Amino acid sequence: MADHQIPHFQNDAGHPAIEIGVKEFMCVGANPPFDHPHEFLDMGADVEKVCPYCSTLYKYNPALHADVTVPAGCTLNHKAA
């Protein structure tokens, strides 16, 4: 499991819904330093999940790769220290 990275998504633009290609992920709200606590979300058998902090609706789209979102630009890119 150590090689399994959990994708992080952000919603700076305030989109009501974001399509993603994974069912396990982290929501950070807006980009740091305006982020909320990084919330691990798991859709399980469902195809939608709402973040309890920022109310972003995430929708599973199996046609997308883990680092692609619709609308584009909602993947949080970690910067190396």
Measured from the Cβ of residue 2, the count of other Cβ atoms closer than 10 Å reads 4
Q: What pLDDT was estimated at residue 31? A: 87
Name the stretches of the chain with pLDDT < 70: 1-4, 78-81
Measured from the Cβ of residue 69, the count of other Cβ atoms closer than 10 Å reads 22
Q: What pLDDT was estimated at residue 1? A: 44
